[in-house]
Every structure is written in structure tokens, then in C-alpha cells.
Amino acid sequence: MSSDIFVVFTKDDGHWWSKFLHKDIQHCFVLKPNGDNYIVHGRTVDKFDLFTVTDKNVILSEPFRIMGYKQKHPVRSLFMLNTCVAHAKQLLGIKKPFILTPYQLYKYMRNNHGIYEGTQGS
């Protein structure tokens, strides 16, 4: 089974809600291979990121966990929270409304055919 898309799980920038999240998995963003490049798709508090890189290691800061996933047909719902998790779920084709945190998404992917890629620095 090959992965079509990668999700990177990292710590966040220390926002007030970080204390309610998992200590190592507080943010996520998506890497989609596109030929020799990667499309980076992410949502942060103050911006939406969409750009390409030639080497995924350039944007990975420690500590991180990366997991590959076989992408399903992307879904659009009538209502979607504007969070990193909601954007990642939409791209992955995951239709689980109660996956709200990056750690919940990580556990779901790990238990549902996510392809473990590795960790760095954690």
C-alpha cells in the first residue's frame, strides 16, 4: 500500500489553548507529492499556507511525526471549522466530525491504514 499524501504533526507556537492539547502533537499540515516537489497545505491561527518545496526536510522542524495516508476522495461539508485538523481531514477525505485535535487525527490515521513514516526529535 503506497501513500498518496503525508500529514506532519508538530508542536504549535504556544498559544493559550496549547495546554489542552497533546504535549507533542498540537498542529498538523499536509504534504502532497507532486512530481519532484511537495505541495504544502496548512492552516495556522493567522494565515493559510499553500506553497511548494523541492525537499520536504526544509520545512520540517523538530520535533515532528510524519504519517503517510492513502487519500480518499476529498470531501466538502456544509460546515467546517477553520482549523489545521479540519483542512487536513478535508484533503484526506476523512468524514469524522468529532476528530477535532491533531492528536485525535493522528490516532485515527494510525488505526485506519496510516503508513507510519517516522519521527524526529521527540
In tens, the pLDDT along 39-57 reads 988 887 777 788 888 887 7
User: Residue 121's pLDDT is what?
Assistant: 57
Residues 77-110 pLDDT 10s: 666 777 888 889 988 888 888 999 999 999 999 8
Does residue 61 or residue 6 have the better pLDDT? 6
Closest residue by Cα to residue 92 from 54, 48, 41:
41
pLDDT value of position 63: 81
How far, rounded to the nearest angstrom, does the alpha carbon of residue 68 sit from its chain's CA centroid?
10
Residue range 57-70: average pLDDT? 81
Task: Tell which residue, 1, 2, 15, 118, has the closest CA to residue 60.
Answer: 118
At 114 the three-state DSSP class reads coil
Please say if the pLDDT value at position 1 is more than 50. Answer: no
How confident is the prediction for the chain on average, in pLDDT? 80
- The whole-number average pLDDT for the span 67-78 is 77
Q: How far apart are CA 92 and CA 21, in angstroms?
A: 22
Residue 11 · residue 60 · CB < 8 Å: no
Percentage, residues of the chain above pLDDT 70: 78
What is the band of 122 on the pLDDT scale with cuts at 50, 70, 90?
very low
Tell me the pTM. 0.80
